[in-house]
Amino acid sequence: MFGKMIAGVLASGALLATAGASATPSTDRETASELEQTLRAAANEVEAAVRESVKASAGAMAEGADGMLEGADEMESGADEMAEYARKLRSREFRLSEVERINAEGSWGRDEPITEQDLIDAIPALEGAVVDMREGAKDMRKSAEEMRRTAREMADDART
């Protein structure tokens, strides 16, 4: 894709050089040759700038992919913690200690204290969130790999 873009820039420069030389029939060959060389040099500079821009974009994409993979790892870790909490809530002894802890901290977000039943009712939602987080992490990894592949292709195109 980016190779085609670079080729297009070069072709445009060559066309400009040819058009510039033929558009001035009264100029001598030396002037036409100088014009053609100037236009080719400009096309080469544009090509180099495009290559550098593509390389920089590819590098940024690769860094973005790495960040996405780290984010996916964090999501997976959060899902593991949530799954462990849901597993613990299935234990009555743990539920009762959690009811006491949450009510003592006031971290439930409601005015009235929580009950053991509130925690029992929360288990399916927690387990559903675990599934959603794992799917989100999987999708994020897939997107990161696609982004990394695109970055590699861009970098390869910029080298050729």
Tokens read off for 74: 């964090």
Beta carbons within 10 angstroms of residue 54's beta carbon: 21
Contact (Cβ atoms closer than 8 angstroms) between residue 74 and residue 141:
no
| Of 58, 40, 63, 65, the residue nearest 3 (C-alpha) | 58
pLDDT the model gives residue 2: 53
136 Cβ contact list (under 8 Å, min separation 6) = 75
User: What is the C-alpha separation between 18 and 24, in angstroms, rounded?
Assistant: 10
pLDDT the model gives residue 158: 84
The conformation of residue 109, written as its DSSP 8-state character, comes to S
pLDDT the model gives residue 153: 93
The conformation of residue 90, written as its DSSP 8-state character, comes to T
pLDDT the model gives residue 55: 93
Phi first, then psi, for residue 37 (nearest 5°) are -65, -40
> Considering all CA atoms of the chain, what is the largest pairwise distance in Å, rounded to the nearest integer?
99
* pLDDT by residue, tens only, the chain of 160 residues: 555 555 555 556 555 555 555 555 555 888 888 889 999 999 999 999 999 999 999 999 999 999 999 999 999 999 999 999 999 999 988 988 988 888 888 766 777 888 899 999 999 999 999 999 999 999 999 999 999 999 999 999 888 7
Which long-range contacts link 119-123 to residues 24+ away (Cβ below 8 Å)?
Answer: 119/89, 119/95, 120/89, 120/95, 122/89, 123/86, 123/89, 123/90
Report the sign of the C-alpha dihedral through residues 25, 28, 31, 33, in that order.
positive
